[in-house]
């Protein structure tokens, strides 16, 4: 017995020693360069890299959407016979998307921050806060009494978890930019790169002392109006500032509006129809089945989304509310789809990032399709460094007279890419690619044969919607100037954006994820909201494939 016991103990020691050796070798291999044999992350210096990074963290409010192949566009019930959503096969990379639409309380937090950091009573910041305010007058109707929503919908706590509306496309993108900076502040604070109180420094009303993610990455000494030295966290070493970089793996990608392809893919949620590497049929709506009513025993007969069921029927009769709402509904009032996303049909339609065109050019791109690329780069100052704007604020007056800030103090100045980036490239040749191969004369090989007159070419353009303007009169008052030209032949131009999904005002026809509509990016309504997305860096899937792809075949 003793001999057997000793053998077992020795075996355990040998196995343990083997595991320890493997662990050491694995650790040693990970921290040794396969290119040079040098040590990585050596305490004495040399190349430093986050070799412990596993995968991207899911940022606040988001859920993971694993990418894949799907059919984009209309596939059934095309009663309009419209050609603007012809079915095409597309592939989408994995990404993250807001679990719900951005709510009133989320947007109010944004407004509160702007009001604290950029006080509207300061003439320098006068239009920053007001430019971000939703248009509450969208609720008004010439022959309807909606003043209760006009006065209460945005700020009353009864509507706190309802989707924000009255926000135009420009305001939605600016909210996403603000959210990026606030979340990355928290990440840097948590990892010890910033002191605990750093994120509150800007709330003293000194707008130039804010945090910008891009400014931090390119010129960290400029952040918080140059006072970042006093806001260093526990990572600081011997009074030496330590800044995070992209290679640190801590800085999250930006919040942004989803592309139309991402939104449609996420709304379809065909993952629930998956069988091995195929889909079992096609969904008509974000949920399974061909009907809008709940067929399960619990809640049988209730509508699965918030939409207009018929003329004058926004929510059913009293005592039997088919969808439980007449205007918008509180988020998460209906079941999530198979990706865990709520209200991808009904409630409010949603802005997406794309510029609208009635064609999808899948011959050029069937991977992450998106129309709207305008490539920019950081401006370089006379000192040879990235130009961070201190007190300079650039405002833009939208065609409807609303004044919005193009940049905020402390942000990096951006300029269009030039020939240095485009010379001898085959994948892009200009900064603005919104009109690339969109069917207008400028996209054809015979463009130069039309005319040498630039104005004449504009008249012949397919996408030359009315150009309404705002002018300043002799006493400084803004005056709207309608474009009454007879040369206009469309409502589409480069500032018209796509919005997706049916809303509380729409019939069931518009609940199909493939449906697409458009509206000028400066306009807002009582039925369009938005949600944010974020790109995923790294692997396509969070669940590792069980197949050992690297194992050699015998």
Per-residue pLDDT averaged across 282-288, rounded?
Answer: 78
Per-residue pLDDT averaged across 346-368, rounded?
Answer: 92
Q: Say how far apart CA 328 and CA 334 lie, in whole Å.
A: 12
Q: Say how far apart CA 513 and CA 467 lie, in whole Å.
A: 31
Q: What percent of the chain has pLDDT over 70?
A: 83
520: confidence class by pLDDT, cuts 50, 70, 90: very high
Residue 337: its pLDDT value, please?
93
Residue 239: its pLDDT value, please?
64
pLDDT in tens, 292-322: 887 777 677 788 788 998 899 888 888 877 8
DSSP H or E run through 458: helix 454-459
Residue 202: its pLDDT value, please?
72
pLDDT in tens, 200-227: 877 765 555 789 999 999 999 888 888 8
Residue 262: its pLDDT value, please?
97
Residues counted in the chain = 554
C-alpha closest to that of 100 among 328, 391, 274, 392: 328
Residue 103: its pLDDT value, please?
98
Residue 178: its pLDDT value, please?
96
Residue 10: its pLDDT value, please?
52
C-alpha closest to that of 190 among 111, 271, 252: 252
Q: Say how far apart CA 443 and CA 421 lie, in whole Å.
A: 21
Q: Say how far apart CA 402 and CA 138 lie, in whole Å.
A: 14
C-alpha closest to that of 351 among 524, 181, 491: 524
Q: What is the residue-averaged pLDDT of the chain? A: 85
pLDDT in tens, 438-495: 877 666 655 555 555 656 555 567 788 888 887 776 666 777 888 888 878 788 999 9
Q: Say how far apart CA 476 and CA 530 lie, in whole Å.
A: 34
Q: What percent of the chain has pLDDT over 90?
A: 48
pLDDT in tens, 109-150: 999 999 999 999 988 888 999 999 999 999 999 999 999 999
554: confidence class by pLDDT, cuts 50, 70, 90: very low
SS3 at position 229 = helix
pLDDT in tens, 368-416: 999 999 999 999 988 889 998 877 788 888 888 888 998 888 899 999 9
SS3 at position 225 = helix
CA distances from 440 to 131, 436, 443, 464 (A): 34, 9, 6, 10
DSSP H or E run through 98: strand 95-98
Residue 539: which residues within 8 A CB-CB, separation 6 or more?
A: 55, 94
Per-residue pLDDT averaged across 359-372, rounded?
Answer: 90
Residue 162: its pLDDT value, please?
98
- Sheet arrangement for strand 533-535: 62-65, 95-98, 533-535
* CATH numbers and ranges of domains, the chain: 50-434+495-542 (3.90.1580.10), 436-493 (no CATH)
Q: Which residues pair with 228 in a beta bridge?
A: none
Residue 460: its pLDDT value, please?
62
pLDDT surpassing 80 at residue 184: yes
Show the CA angle centred on residue 153, arms to residues 138 and 405, nearest 5°: 60
pLDDT in tens, 52-81: 888 999 999 999 999 999 989 876 667 767
Q: What is the pTM of this model?
A: 0.89
- In terms of C-beta density within 10 A (0-12 exposed, 13-18 middle, 19 or more buried), how is residue 2 classed? exposed
pLDDT surpassing 80 at residue 537: yes
186: confidence class by pLDDT, cuts 50, 70, 90: very high
Residue 442: its pLDDT value, please?
65
Give the residue with greater pLDDT, 340 vs 84.
340
Q: Which residues pair with 88 in a beta bridge?
A: 72
Residue 176: its pLDDT value, please?
98
CA distances from 258 to 74, 95, 492 (A): 19, 9, 21
Residue 392: which residues within 8 A CB-CB, separation 6 or more?
A: 407, 409
417: confidence class by pLDDT, cuts 50, 70, 90: very high
CA distances from 60 to 152, 245, 366, 400 (A): 27, 21, 30, 34
């Amino acid at each position: 017995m003793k001999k057997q016991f000793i053998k077992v103990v020795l075996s355990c020691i040998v196995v343990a020693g083997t595991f320890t050796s493997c662990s050491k070798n694995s650790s040693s291999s990970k921290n040794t360069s396969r290119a040079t044999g040098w040590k990585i992350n050596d305490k004495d210096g040399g190349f430093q890299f986050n070799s412990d990074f596993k995968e991207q963290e899911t940022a606040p409010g988001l859920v993971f959407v694993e990418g894949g192949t799907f059919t984009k566009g209309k596939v059934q019930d095309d009663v309009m016979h419209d050609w603007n959503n012809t079915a095409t096969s597309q592939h989408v990379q994995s990404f993250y998307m807001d679990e719900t639409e951005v709510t009133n309380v989320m947007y109010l937090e944004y407004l509160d921050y702007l009001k604290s950091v950029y006080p509207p009573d300061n003439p320098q910041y006068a239009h920053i806060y007001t430019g971000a305010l939703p248009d509450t007058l969208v609720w008004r109707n010439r022959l309807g009494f909606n003043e209760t929503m006009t006065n209460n919908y945005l700020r009353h706590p009864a509507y706190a978890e309802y989707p924000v509306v009255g926000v135009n496309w420009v305001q939605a993108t600016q909210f996403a930019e603000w959210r990026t900076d606030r979340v990355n502040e928290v990440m840097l604070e948590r990892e010890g790169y910033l002191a605990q109180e750093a994120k509150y420094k800007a709330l003293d009303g000194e707008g130039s002392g804010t945090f910008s993610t891009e400014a931090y990455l390119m010129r960290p000494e400029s952040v918080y109006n140059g006072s970042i030295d006093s806001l260093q966290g526990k990572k600081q070493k011997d009074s030496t500032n330590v800044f995070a970089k992209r290679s640190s793996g801590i800085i999250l990608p930006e919040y942004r509006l989803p592309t139309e392809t991402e939104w449609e893919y996420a709304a379809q949620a065909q993952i629930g129809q998956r069988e091995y590497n195929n889909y079992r049929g096609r969904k008509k709506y974000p949920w399974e089945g061909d009907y809008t009513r709940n067929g399960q025993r619990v809640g049988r007969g209730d509508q699965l989304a918030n939409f207009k069921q018929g003329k004058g029927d926004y929510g059913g009769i009293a005592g039997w509310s088919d969808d439980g709402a007449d205007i918008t509904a509180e988020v998460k009032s209906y079941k999530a789809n198979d990706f865990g996303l709520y209200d991808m049909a009904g409630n409010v339609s949603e802005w997406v990032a794309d510029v609208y065109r009635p064609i999808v050019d899948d011959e050029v791109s069937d991977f992450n399709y998106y129309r709207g690329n305008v490539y920019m780069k950081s401006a370089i100052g006379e000192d040879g460094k990235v130009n961070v704007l201190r007190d300079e604020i650039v405002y833009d007056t939208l065609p409807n007279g609303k004044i919005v800030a193009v940049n905020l103090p402390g942000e990096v100045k951006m300029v269009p890419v030039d020939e240095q980036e485009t010379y001898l490239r085959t994948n892009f040749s200009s900064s603005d690619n919104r009109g690339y191969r969109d069917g207008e004369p400028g996209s054809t090989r015979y463009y130069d044969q039309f005319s040498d007159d630039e104005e004449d070419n504009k008249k012949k353009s397919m996408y030359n919607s009315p150009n309404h303007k705002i002018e300043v009169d002799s006493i400084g008052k803004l005056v709207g100037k309608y474009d009454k030209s007879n040369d206009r032949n469309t409502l589409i131009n480069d500032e018209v954006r796509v919005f997706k999904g049916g809303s509380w005002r729409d019939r069931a026809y518009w609940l199909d994820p493939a449906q697409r509509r458009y509206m000028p990016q400066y306009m807002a309504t009582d039925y369009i909201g938005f949600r944010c997305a974020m790109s995923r860096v790294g692997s396509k899937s969070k669940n590792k494939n069980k197949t050992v792809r690297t194992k050699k075949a015998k």
